[in-house]
Amino acid sequence: MRQNNSRHLFILIFCLILFAGSCTTETPTNEFSERVKVALRAVGNDVLLSQNDTVSLVLPVLQLESNVFELSFEKPLAFDPGNLNAAVANSFSKASLPKDYRVAVLNCTDGEVAYSFEMRSTIENSLVPCGGRLLPEACYTIEVTFTSQQVDASGNPAIFYILVFLVIIFLAFVFYSRYHAFRQGDTPHNGTLLGSFTFYPEQNKLVKEAEEISLSRKECELLALFIAKPNEVIKREELTKKVWEDNGVIVGRSLDTYISKLRKKLQDDPSIKLTNVHGVGYKLEV
Q: What value does the mean pLDDT take over residues 95-117?
A: 91
Q: Tell me: do 142 and 161 sit in the same domain.
A: no
Q: Tell me: do 221 and 272 sit in the same domain.
A: yes
DSSP assigned state of 221? H
**Alpha-carbon gap, residue 37 to 17, rounded angstroms:** 30
Q: What is the pLDDT of residue 10?
A: 59
Q: What is the pLDDT of residue 4?
A: 52
Q: Which region among 39-53, 58-72, 110-124, 210-224 has the lowest average model confidence (pLDDT)?
A: 110-124
What is the value of pTM for the model shown?
Answer: 0.44
The domain of 220 spans 192-285
2 pLDDT band, cuts 50/70/90, is: very low
Count CA within 13 A, CB hemisphere, residue 160.
6
Q: Tell me: do 178 and 199 sit in the same domain.
A: no
Q: Tell me: do 179 and 204 sit in the same domain.
A: no
Q: Assess contact for 61 and 41: CB atoms under 8 A.
A: yes
**Alpha-carbon gap, residue 27 to 20, rounded angstroms:** 12
Q: What value does the mean pLDDT take over residues 252-264?
A: 85
Q: Tell me: do 146 and 169 sit in the same domain.
A: no
pLDDT > 70: percent of the chain: 76
Q: Tell me: do 217 and 77 sit in the same domain.
A: no
Q: What is the pLDDT of residue 133?
A: 73
Beta bridge partners of 214: 205
Structurally, the chain folds into a number of domains equal to 3
Q: Tell me: do 206 and 261 sit in the same domain.
A: yes
Residue 157 has pLDDT above 80, yes or no: no
**Alpha-carbon gap, residue 220 to 226, rounded angstroms:** 10
30 pLDDT band, cuts 50/70/90, is: confident
DSSP output for 120-172: -SSGGG-B------PEEEE-EEEEEEES-----GGG-HHHHHHHHHHHHHHHH
215-253 pLDDT tens trace: 999 999 999 999 999 999 999 888 888 887 755 555 556
Q: Tell me: do 204 and 160 sit in the same domain.
A: no
Q: Tell me: do 212 and 267 sit in the same domain.
A: yes
212: CATH: 1.10.10.10
Q: What is the pLDDT of residue 161?
A: 74
Q: Tell me: do 9 and 88 sit in the same domain.
A: no
Residue 141 has pLDDT above 70, yes or no: yes
Residue 187 has pLDDT above 50, yes or no: no
Average pLDDT, the chain: 81
Higher pLDDT, 175 or 220: 220
Name which of 90, 99, 113, 112 is nearest 43 in CA terms. Answer: 90
Q: What value does the mean pLDDT take over residues 156-182?
A: 74
Q: What value does the mean pLDDT take over residues 93-122?
A: 89
Q: What is the pLDDT of residue 46?
A: 92
Residue 39 has pLDDT above 90, yes or no: yes
Q: What value does the mean pLDDT take over residues 169-177?
A: 79
Q: Tell me: do 78 and 163 sit in the same domain.
A: no
Q: Tell me: do 140 and 36 sit in the same domain.
A: yes
20 pLDDT band, cuts 50/70/90, is: low
